[in-house]
Amino acid sequence: MQRSAYVCPLRGESVLLGQNRDGGAAGKWSACGGKVNKNEWVVAAARRELREESSLEVDEKHLVPSALVTTYRGSAAYYRLYIFTVKQWIGEPTDTSEMYNHQWFPFSQVPLKMMRPSDRQWLPLVLAGETFAADIYLDEDGEAVREIKKYRPMRFRNEFA
């Protein structure tokens, strides 16, 4: 199962999203994030992905673990997403080779219909301030959500190390 780390920069009641340049998510809105490399700590991946996709720099101590989401395609575990929020960073978002058109969206105006199906499920919960774990079951193509099971993890912070 692939591990990915995502960061949602928050400014007041707005969240920073950008559009993906490549792959199946090209043109779709997303938080900054991507693959956790082999032998890489999740928080290090979150910092790296934020920098690679937005040029924002963040200190590890400002990353707040918000959600742990396992996505399934059919019955097979496909991705484990480690999702953080952050309210302090250095720099301004800029287009990069991986993401472009960064915009601040008020929580009530996030373009959910223009996001990946799994992101549509977890992002509103993160923006509502929930701390949770969830299993999201997609169809075989990954284009439609069949079911979501949300639960509260026991040792949440340790999972993000």
DSSP 64-84: EEEEEEEEEETTEEEEEEEEE
User: What is the average pLDDT across 144-148?
Assistant: 78
Q: What are phi and psi of 75, to 5 degrees?
A: -105, 0
User: What is the average pLDDT across 67-85?
Assistant: 91
Stated pTM of the model: 0.91
Mean pLDDT of the chain: 91
Q: Say yes or no to pLDDT of 26 above 90.
A: no
* Cα–Cα nearest to 87, from 119, 26, 129: 129
**What is the C-alpha R_g of the chain?**
14
Per-residue pLDDT, 23: 77
pLDDT grade, residue 161 (50/70/90)? low
Contact criterion met (CB below 8 Å) for 69 and 4 = no
Identify the CATH number of the domain defined by range 2-159. Answer: 3.90.79.10
Cα distance between residue 83 and residue 63, in whole Å? 9
Domain boundaries, the chain: 2-159
